Amino acid sequence: MEPGFWHDKWDAKHLGFHLGEVNALLIKYWPELALGRDSSGCDINVFVPLCGKSLDMCYLAEQGHNVLGCELSQKAVEQFFSENNLPHQIEPSDPINKFTTEQVTILQGDLFTLAPEQFTEINAFYDRAALIAWPESMRLAYVDKISALIPPKSVGLLITLDYPQEALKGPPFAVSNDWVMANMSATFEIDLLSCDDALMDNQRFVNKDVPWLTESVYKLVRKGQGARTLRS
């Protein structure tokens, strides 16, 4: 969606996507990535694109990781730090403002203005409600951008929803397993960890008579080549 759409959501406090707790699938599947500090003592630095004010960043920090979020809305970022009582520093800059606390840094601005040079330390990533936030017409541009930012060998979790798109206007948009495999396997090794019925947990979908809804969790590993040369 265009930036104005999301600024309006944050202004109007229409935040149906925001969970008041850590995502249960993150808690269940993150340990499967086995991303402890490695034997060389290397830190795990997790990129969280389109992070909102997600408490999942707190969970990742509690695992001992460093977190690098990116979020368009300044309101979202300010609320993340204030609601979690996190003292922080702000480095204002154009086009990206940097908000930092001990283990969490959020780059506030448009993801598409970020450069790979800012991501050289990243070795893990987490995408919940980010890929599925884009309509199909913008989704490939997002995949290309995160593929360009995430260094080779980085390991991450991707959580998607799928449902008959004609039954509901997104976001979230339906992303099928076929779409993920067809459009992300050039840049990521993809392992489907789970795909479960999620209709009863999503009242909005029930209210709109959406006939079925599944939620999938993928383990992704960034392959060794740059996305821009793979899909030019």
Residues 73 to 112: which contact ligand SAM by CB under 6 A?
Answer: 73, 76, 110-112
174 binds ligand SAM (CB under 6 A): no
128 binds ligand SAM (CB under 6 A): yes
List the one residue from 33, 35, 61, 72 that touches ligand SAM (CB under 6 A). 72
130 binds ligand SAM (CB under 6 A): yes
Piece of 65-73, 96-104, 117-125, 179-187 that binds ligand SAM (CB under 6 A)? 65-73
Give the number of C-alpha atoms closer than 13 A to the C-alpha of residue 95, restricted to the C-beta side.
Answer: 11
Minimum distance between the CB of residue 183 and ligand SAM, rounded to whole angstroms? 18
Beta bridge partners of 91: 98
Residue nearest ligand SAM (C-beta atom): 52
Residues 8 to 47: which contact ligand SAM by CB under 6 A?
Answer: 17-18
Residue with tokens 């409600």: 129
Residue 53 or 88: which CB sits closer to ligand SAM? Answer: 53
DSSP 3-state percent helix, strand, coil across the chain (nearest 5):
35, 25, 40
The string of DSSP letters for 161-229 reads: EE--GGGS--SSPP--HHHHHHHHTTTEEEEEEEEEE-GGG-HHHHHTT-S--EEEEEEEEE-SS-HHH
Number of shown-chain residues binding ligand SAM (CB under 6 A) = 20
- Dihedral in degrees, nearest 10, Cα atoms 53, 127, 180, 109: 60
Query: Residues marked as binding?
Result: 10, 50, 71, 128
Query: Residues marked as binding for S-adenosyl-L-methionine?
Result: 10, 50, 71, 128
Residue with tokens 């269940």: 28
Type and span of the H or E element at 157: strand 155-162
Residues 105 to 124: which contact ligand SAM by CB under 6 A?
Answer: 110-112
Rounded to the nearest 10 degrees, the angle between the axes of helix 74-83 and helix 3-12 is 40
75: Cβ contacts below 8 Å, ≥ 6 apart: 10, 11
Minimum distance between the CB of residue 99 and ligand SAM, rounded to whole angstroms? 13
List the one residue from 71, 144, 162, 215 that touches ligand SAM (CB under 6 A). 71
Residue numbers of the site for ligand SAM (CB under 6 A)? 6, 17-18, 50-52, 54, 70-73, 76, 110-112, 128-130, 133, 171
